Amino acid sequence: MAESHSSGRVTFGDTDARADQMHQAIDQWLAELVEAVDTARASEQFQQWLDIQRRFHEYSHRNTLLIALQCPEATKVAGYRTWQDEFDRHVTDGESAIWIWAPIITNQCPECGDGPTYHERNDCDYDETPPDEWDEGVVGFKPVPVFDVSQTEGEPLPELDTAARGDPDGLVTALLEAAATLELSVEIVDSDAWSYGDADGVCRHVDGDPHIQVRGDDTAAVAGTLLHEYAHALLHDPADTAGREAREREAEAVAYVIGRHFDLEMDGSAQYLAAWHDDDSDQLFERCERIRETSTTLIETIAAQGGSPADG
């Protein structure tokens, strides 16, 4: 089994059993979250993952969960050689690796999907083309060690362009410019013309297409509301059978990840999980993937319009 320390961090020490331990650690995290879904501790664990997700949005939800379990303060991770060769930094003596999954890429049988070695051992009889002519693909995953920048020393990392860091005006502009790419219709409405009561924003489907309206008060509030409504538009269609509160929490989690990625102050309600009290582990894991996919899509689309990320 993976080893849990007094700090709550998990380590994977047994080389032969490491892959199984990594799977078990994720399963245990999900099981504990489901069991205590309406407690403060569960909310703290979930927000910890959301904070990791916004720093590592390009990673799978499995890997961000593993990073959160092993090194929740991580900001930038890379392999031992990558730190040396690309950044002229060296892993400090005595540091423990952070283990994540890396894809195994090799020639892949067009029929069974296995690489040449496993293809020879299974019952697949595909022989139309030799293995060296197969296209490359992902045939599995293996544990690989990475280290956070805090575990290294050496040359400073290059500074990222963060001119729009924490700038709600810049984020609103990027969001409005991203609307066409996302196939969204967006309207910012003056407060005196707002007709939706206390709501800050709405996402309705008009002829099957999402139409978003946001009350135009404070720019920072508009940015946060746009993120929330964009998440609804990408996550939830009119036929969605999930309860309203469950949908709100998904959208709020996505808005939190993206807003913090761009260094905006965000409402902490994203970590509140009571709306998902009926979920089992598989359903909660699926929600994590939905949150990751939607956050990644929005972050990358916004960035393409000039939105600059927070510095770690």
Domain positions in the chain are 80-154, 168-304
**How much is the pLDDT for 9?**
79
How many CB atoms are located within 10 Å of the residue 107 CB?
Answer: 17
d(CA 218, CA 200): 11
pLDDT tens sequence across 93-148: 999 999 999 998 989 999 888 888 888 888 888 888 998 889 998 888 899 999 99
Which DSSP state fits 207?
T
d(CA 252, CA 267): 9
The two tokens of residue 24 are 């078990």
Torsion angle (degrees, nearest 10) of CA 161, 68, 14, 137 = -60
Q: 187: part of which helix (H) or strand (E)?
A: strand 185-189
* Environment class of 131 (CB within 10 Å of its CB; exposed 0-12, middle 13-18, buried 19+): middle
**How much is the pLDDT for 163?**
36
In this model, does residue 269 exceed pLDDT 50?
no
In order of 27, 122, 141, the CA distances from 13 in angstroms are 18, 31, 18
Query: What is the reported pTM?
Result: 0.77
How many CB atoms are located within 10 Å of the residue 73 CB?
Answer: 12
Lookup result for tokens 């952070």: 98
Strands 136-148 and 77-78: antiparallel
Which DSSP state fits 265?
-
The two tokens of residue 228 are 């929330």
Nearest alpha-carbon partner for 224 in 183, 269, 190: 269
> Coil, strand, or helix at residue 159?
coil
How many residues make up the chain in this entry?
312
Which DSSP state fits 200?
S
Looking at 34-173, which runs of residues are DSSP E strands?
77-78, 89-91, 98-107, 136-148, 152-154
d(CA 33, CA 239): 28
Tell me the average pLDDT across 60-79.
94
Lookup result for tokens 């996302």: 182
pLDDT tens sequence across 152-186: 999 998 764 443 446 788 899 999 999 999 999 99
In this model, does residue 237 exceed pLDDT 80?
no
Which DSSP state fits 274?
G
